[in-house]
Amino acid sequence: MNMQPLALWAEVAVAALVLLGSAIALVGSLGLLRLDTYFERVHAPSIIATMGCWCIMHGTLLYFSLQGQGIAAHPLLIALFVAVTVPVTNIFLMRAALFRARRMGQNVPPHVGHAEPGSTPQPFDKHS
C-alpha cells in the first residue's frame, strides 16, 4: 500500500480526534481512581470507553479512508462492537454486584420493580 502524506486539514482533524479520544479515556481513568464505591466507579470507564473509542474511530476512519481506495470499514466495525458490548457487559456486572451486595447484607439501592404500593423508598447511603 502506497502511503502518501495527507493534506494539512486532514492531519489536523485526525490528530484532534485521536487526542480528544485519548483525553476522554484519561478522564475516565481518573474517574475510576477517584470515585469511592463500585457502583459509582463502574460508570466512568464504561461511558468514557464508548465516547473515547468513537472519537478515535472517527480519526482512524478519516485517516485510512484518505489513504486507501474508499471508506475504511474496519474502524467502524470495531467501534460498533465496543458500543454494543460495553453497555451489555456493564449491565451484567452491575446486576452481579447488586446481587452479591444484597446477599452480604450491604446497603444498596432498593429494587425498583418490586416496591410495595404506598411505600416510600429508603434513601441510599453510599458510605455505610
Q: What is the mean pLDDT of the chain?
A: 82
- Tell me the CA end-to-end span of the chain in Å, nearest whole number: 60
Predicted confidence at residue 127, as pLDDT, reads: 54
Residue of 115 and 54 predicted with greater confidence: 54
The whole-number average pLDDT for the span 80-103 is 88
Question: CB of 83 within 8 A of CB of 104?
Answer: no
User: Model's pTM, two decimal places?
Assistant: 0.70
pLDDT in tens, 5-63: 888 999 999 999 999 999 998 888 888 888 888 877 887 777 787 888 899 999 999 99
In three-state form (DSSP H/G/I as H, E/B as E, the rest C), the secondary structure along 45-89 is: HHHHHHHHHHHHHHHHHHHHHHHCCCCCCHHHHHHHHHHHHHHHH
Q: Which residue's entry shows cell 465516547?
A: 51
Question: CB of 41 within 8 A of CB of 90?
Answer: no
Predicted confidence at residue 113, as pLDDT, reads: 64
